[in-house]
Chains A and B, each alone.
Chain A
Amino acid sequence: MTDSENILVARGLHKYYGKGPSRTHVLRGLDLSARRGEFLAVMGPSGCGKSTLLHILGLMTHCDEGVIDLNGQPAPFDDSARTLLRRTQIGFVFQRFNLLGVLSAEDNVAISLRVRGLGASSRVRELFERLGIAHVMRRKPGQMSIGEQQRVAVVRALAHRPALLLADEPTGNLDSANSRDLLEIFRQTNRQENQTIVMITHSAEAASCADRVLQMKDGLILGQPA
């Protein structure tokens, strides 16, 4: 596999938290790559650095060492350039949905588009319909079920057609039925739109939907030389 087939390549990622004796080495030179159109799951026990990895891959925080290539380009160090990449290339789905409570479902999506300099499009309506939540478009998060909230979060993450969808424990707060539905949505999106997805999960059932599953432990991908 060549780097040109990879939409995401991370090499030698190190991340430390804290200072002095309490300093924790969370990522220990981790390598990871994801092919264009791949649905990749990363599993591992709590505290192994999964979420930290996702935040670094999503350019939300810097790694202390290592490099990330996104779409064939090295991720910049400058914050405003990283913000621009995040705006155009990446979509996030979080465990706790992270919708803005004061806005309706459609406005949550609309403001994410406005942040990205995009206007409302027919795709938004289409996504709401495809995910079976057209009836909640005008509702605020507090008036929706948790399953509906998570689907709205997915619409928001996909509305601008990101190159990379990063999902952090997306089924962590959902019941079994909603989890299955969400994973089916991910699977469909991955197949129909060739959407690259990197999903962090505890759940073996969720991971089983992915094309490839990576196991993480102590800040490294299992099988990777320490």
Chain B
Amino acid sequence: MSYLPLSNILHHKLRSVLSALGIGVGICMLITLSGLSRGSLGEIGDRWESVDAELIAYPKGLGTKITTISGGLLSDKAAERFLEHKDLVQSVVPILLCGASIGGQDNLISGIDPWDWKTLTNDLKVVDGVVPDHEGKFTRWYEKTVLTPSTQPDAPPLDLDDKVIAEHGGMELMVDERLAKKGRFHVGDTVNMENHAWKIVGICPSGVITRVFMPRRTAQKFFSGGSIHNSTLMFVKLRPGVDQNDACRKLACEYADLMPKQQYRASLDHTFGIMFTYIDIVNAIALVIAFLFIMITLYMMVLQRTRDIAILKSCGASNWFILRQMLAESMLLTFTGTAVGIALSFPAAWLIQVFAPLLTVQLSFKWIAVAILAAAAGALVSGLYPGWRATRVDMVEALTNE
């Protein structure tokens, strides 16, 4: 025997397809946008966790704001203090973070000393080219030039313009594969960033702490007021067996506080939690609209099908039987739409990453499950009112007037 709700759905094909598509788009949005927001943030967390160090030192009193800082706020003297604890600390990697537009969008850039690449990336091999200032010549020349006071009283003031720095290998950049793909960058290209000409000398795998790298001294000159005594934060690699929380307490000093690296992800979630809320609200609105669509469709169907409902009632159908038919139809439409939405979310995620390679979409079973549960609840709610109206159909009026 055919199932009446299914027969109704198959009989009104266009209406059913549009209803299912409406739900499908809402479900696809829910899964894809959640995957996008959480994936992008998760990717940042993953990149920071890829650093081969256990602790992050940040300017004192900054707390969870660590996720949004840049510039030189942390004195390099902090590194000296950390290294005094030889029993705890194996190495310290200072890093200067700055923001600049490259490849058509703002990027966080790491200014690093070339010898710290190994610690920073767990000795990841670059895909093409080399690390900026890979032999450290520029860094050593710059430190010598800036830090060594002139013995000549009549010596002219230092005038380190782009040309001089470029001649010593300071105007070098390395970008990760995803940014290189988006910006179509190749090793040897010259790009303009913040009104300076930079030479791309390397392309590294994606998944490292930032998408762009330059020599730390160059970053300090152009993005941190020229001071070569400050960084943004430092990664601290501990000796094997040292307790991280214990080390955080012991290493804290007047310049810096420290946190275990894993805590960074929690700080990210804390800082950007409002973004999740915003996206969840957008998703909820999209779903509500989709289910209103279903409700209106079913309600219209009740209005159009009062005769059919009256026929069932004349056969002795109870209100519960009538309500069940409407709920079943709502459920069938919704679950078809949900399946379409889940199926669409995979090509949607793929398309996003093709056209916006810097974004990460991480489709999760958790959000697919959330989508299914939301759909079930939505189907129930959106079927209830039309179903209730169906039970109120006046048999005689419907059979007489239609």
* A interface residue numbers (CB < 8 A to B): 51, 55, 58, 60-61, 80, 83-84, 86-88, 90, 92, 94, 98-104, 106-107, 110-112, 114-116, 120, 156
Contacts and interface: CB of A to CB of B under 8 A. Distances in A.
A21 B319 CA distance: 35
B1 A58 contact: no
B399 A98 contact: yes
Contacts, number: 69
A65 to B, nearest CB: 18
Contact of B317 (A94, A115, A156): A115
B interface, size bucket: 20 to 34
Contacts of B396: 55, 60-61
B150 to A, nearest CB: 95
B145 interface: no
Nearest to A98: B311
Given A60-B395, A60-B396, A107-B1, A101 B318 contact: no
Given A94-B399, A102-B11, A111 B1 contact: yes
B2 A92 contact: no
A111 B399 contact: no
Contact of B316 (A55, A88, A98, A103): A88
Nearest to A84: B316
A102 B312 CA distance: 13
Contacts of B315: 86-87, 92, 111-112, 115-116, 156
B4 A51 contact: no
Nearest to B5: A102
Contact of A120 (B1, B7, B313, B318): B1
B152 interface: no
Given A60-B314, A115-B316, A156-B315, 20 more contacts: A55-B395, A58-B314, A60-B399, A84-B316, A86-B315, A87-B316, A88-B316, A98-B307, A100-B4, A100-B311, A101-B308, A102-B11, A103-B4, A104-B2, A107-B1, A111-B1, A111-B4, A112-B315, A114-B1, A115-B315
Interface string B384-397: 00000000000110
A142 to B, nearest CB: 10
Contacts of B314: 58, 60, 86, 92, 98
A60 B311 CA distance: 11
Contacts of A112: 315
B195 interface: no
B222 interface: no
Nearest to B308: A100
Interface in B1-55: 1-2, 4, 7-8, 10-11
Contacts of B308: 100-101
Contact of B2 (A101, A103, A115): A103
Contacts of A98: 307, 310-311, 314, 399
B277 interface: no
B148 interface: no
B305 to A, nearest CB: 9
A202 to B, nearest CB: 16
Nearest to A58: B314
B400 interface: yes
B115 interface: no
Contacts of B400: 51
